[in-house]
Chains A and B, each alone.
Chain A
Amino acid sequence: MALQDKYKEIVDAATAAGTQDLLVREQDGVLYIDGSANGTTKQQLWDLYEKIDPDYASGDLVMNINSVSGVQEGAKLKVTTNSSNLNIRKGPGTTHGVVGKAARHEIVTLVRKENDQWWVIKTDDGEEGYSYTQYLTPVEA
Chain B
Amino acid sequence: MKLKLPRILLLACSIALLGATITSCKKKQSDADIKAAVETALKAEPMSTVTMVDVKDGVVTISGECKDDMCKASCEKTAAAVKGVKSVVNNLTVAAPPPPPTIAADDPLTSAVNDALKAFPGVSATVKDGIISVTGKIAKADRQKLMMALQALNPKKVDVTGLSNN
A55 to B146, CA, bound (A): 11
Beta-carbon contact of A24 and B160 below 8 Å: no
Asked if B153 contacts A94 (CB within 8 A), the reply is no
A95 CA to B47 CA in the complex, in Å? Answer: 51
Interface magnitude class on chain A: 20 to 34
Q: Are A94 and B100 in contact (CB under 8 A)?
A: no
Residues of chain B contacted by A60 (CB below 8 angstroms): 157
Q: Given A23-B99, A27-B100, is A63 in contact with B151 using a C-beta cutoff of 8 Å?
A: yes
Chain B residues within 8 Å of A49, by CB: 147
Evaluate contact between A56 and B160: CB separation under 8 angstroms.
yes
Judge whether B114 and A94 touch: CB under 8 Å: yes
Q: Which of B110-166 contact A (CB under 8 A)?
A: 111-112, 114-116, 118-119, 140, 143-145, 147-149, 151-161, 165
Alpha-carbon separation in the docked complex, A117 to B151 (Å): 12
Check if B111 sits within 8 Å of A93, measured CB to CB. Answer: yes
Question: Which residue in A50, A57, A117 is a CB contact (below 8 Å) of B153?
Answer: A117
Size band of the interface chain B makes with A: 20 to 34
The B-contacting residues of A in range 42-56, CB under 8 angstroms, are 42, 46-47, 49-50, 55-56
B98, CB-defined interface residue at 8 Å: yes
- A24 nearest in chain B by CB position: B98
Alpha-carbon separation in the docked complex, A117 to B161 (Å): 25
Q: CA A28 – CA B154 in complex, angstroms?
A: 15
By beta carbon, the residue of chain B nearest A64 is B152
Residues of A within 8 A of B159 (CB): 59
B101 at the binding interface (Cβ < 8 Å) = yes
CB distance A25 to B101 under 8 Å? Answer: yes
| Contact across chains for A56 and B158 when beta carbons are under 8 A apart | yes
A56 to B118, CA, bound (A): 20
The reply to whether B115 and A94 contact each other, CB–CB distance below 8 Å, is yes
Of all chain A residues, the one with the shortest Cβ separation from B152 is A64
Residues of B within 8 A of A (CB): 97-101, 111-112, 114-116, 118-119, 140, 143-145, 147-149, 151-161, 165
* CB<8 Å pairs between A and B, sample of 17: A23-B98, A24-B98, A25-B97, A30-B157, A32-B101, A34-B101, A46-B144, A56-B158, A57-B161, A59-B158, A62-B151, A64-B152, A66-B152, A93-B111, A117-B152, A134-B145, A134-B149
* Given pairs A62-B101, A94-B114, 17 additional interface contacts (CB within 8 A): A25-B100, A25-B101, A27-B100, A27-B101, A28-B156, A46-B148, A49-B147, A50-B144, A55-B160, A56-B158, A59-B158, A59-B159, A62-B157, A66-B152, A93-B115, A117-B153, A134-B145
Interface of A toward B, CB cutoff 8 Å: 23-25, 27-28, 30, 32, 34, 42, 46-47, 49-50, 55-57, 59-60, 62-64, 66, 82, 93-95, 116-117, 132, 134
Closest 9 CB pairs of A and B: A32-B101, A94-B115, A59-B159, A30-B157, A56-B147, A25-B98, A64-B152, A62-B151, A23-B98
